[in-house]
Amino acid sequence: MLKIESLGTSTARIVYSKDDQSILSLPTHEVLEMFKSFGLLLFRGFGVTYEQMKEFSKKFSSKFVRDPYRQIVGSFDDFVQLVDNGMDEVLPHCENSASPFRPDVVWFCCGVPAAQDGETLFWDGVRVWEQLGEPVKQLFISKRVKFKYNFDAEHWKLFFGAGTTIADVKQTLNNIKDVDYQIQEDESIYFEYTCSVVVKTKFGNQDAFGNSIILYYQEPLYDQEPEVSEEVKSHITENSERVSFEDGSPISHAVIDEIKGVMDKLTGVISWQPGDLVMIDNSKFLHGRRAFQDEQRQIYTHLSYLTS
Ligand SMILES: [Fe+2]
């Protein structure tokens, strides 16, 4: 029997290794059942390398995707990447959820934790949704949101694969509803994606606040001082245009503040140890990161679609 404990106050669990066993020796079916029930599993003491993360994830996955903005590790076709460049805070989001290419599972594996800080944070989107006030819930039930961003050629080629042409991209995007796009002269793609912030969890069909609106609303403010100047205020208005309601009306600061207030009380923390592996249900949990100041930190990531 595996030793399993709660990780924070959500359904997340921590699974401990017994007698230095390899992650690859764990029974696939049992792990999958735990993943379906708990939605976030942290495997500790298995000494997982990024190569093993890939081997392990293959047991559950039919397909892999890349994050278009991350450094690739190993060969291009391994789909293993280092997490976000930089050392700033990363606000809550579900991976690739501002696009129709949301993977089922986000995998993280710790090579070297930061000497201090740099924890990965997580939030159970089902509980966030449950705890939001009724007016905010009704607002998001009645209105979808629209994400707007520019996808430059270097990054969409990384995402879709090196040999992808503009014609391939058009063919892919034309078949996806809720996507509007324009190809620019420099081959960058101006992209708009409309979706609900409330999603059904892949397992259990529960409503979850599973999206990236906090990240898109505030991302460019990373380097700003917390003291809000007039100049920053004008940026906030500008930046909020990266995500709005479907009809173009802005999401108010009050609404964003309410969401953040609920999320602040539900934050789960992964204090990394070398060789930790994390498996996150990307339809249920949001994740983010605390800032850190250690260039040695190495967290690898891998994104996949489940076989079943
Ligand atoms: Fe992420």
C-alpha to C-alpha distance for 228 and 232, rounded to whole angstroms: 6
Q: 51: Cβ–Cβ under 8 A, 6 or more apart, which residues?
A: 74
Residue 78 C-alpha to ligand 1 middle, in angstroms?
Answer: 18
HEC sequence for 232-259: HHHHHHHHHHHEEECCCCCCCHHHHHHH
**What pLDDT is stored for residue 160 in this prediction?**
83
**What protein residues have CB closer than 5 angstroms to ion ligand 1?**
95
Residue 121 C-alpha to ligand 1 middle, in angstroms?
Answer: 10
Percent of the chain topping pLDDT 90: 67
Residue 84 C-alpha to ligand 1 middle, in angstroms?
Answer: 8
Interval 204-256: pLDDT, tens: 999 999 999 999 987 544 344 334 444 444 433 444 468 999 998 999 999 99
**What pLDDT is stored for residue 226 in this prediction?**
38
**What pLDDT is stored for residue 136 in this prediction?**
98
Query: Half-sphere exposure of 83 toward its Cβ, with a 13 Å CA cutoff?
Result: 30
Residue 286 C-alpha to ligand 1 middle, in angstroms?
Answer: 8
Interval 60-87: pLDDT, tens: 999 887 776 666 666 666 667 777 668 8
Q: Could you tell me the residue ranges of all domains in the chain?
A: 3-126+264-306, 144-201+210-249
**What pLDDT is stored for residue 176 in this prediction?**
92
Residue 1 C-alpha to ligand 1 middle, in angstroms?
Answer: 32
Residue 282 C-alpha to ligand 1 middle, in angstroms?
Answer: 10
Residue 19 C-alpha to ligand 1 middle, in angstroms?
Answer: 32
Residue 188 C-alpha to ligand 1 middle, in angstroms?
Answer: 22
Superfamily of domain 3-126+264-306: Clavaminate synthase-like (3.60.130.10)
For 176-296, list the strands marked E by DSSP: 179-183, 189-195, 198-200, 207-209, 243-245, 268-270, 277-281, 285-289
Residue 149 C-alpha to ligand 1 middle, in angstroms?
Answer: 17
Low-confidence ranges of the chain (pLDDT < 70): 1, 68-79, 84-85, 219-241, 308
**What pLDDT is stored for residue 199 in this prediction?**
98
What DSSP designation does 292 have?
A: B
Whose structure tokens read 């991976």?
Answer: 95
Residue 230 C-alpha to ligand 1 middle, in angstroms?
Answer: 30
Residue of 136, 167, 127, 122 whose CA lies nearest to 287: 122
What DSSP designation does 117 have?
A: B
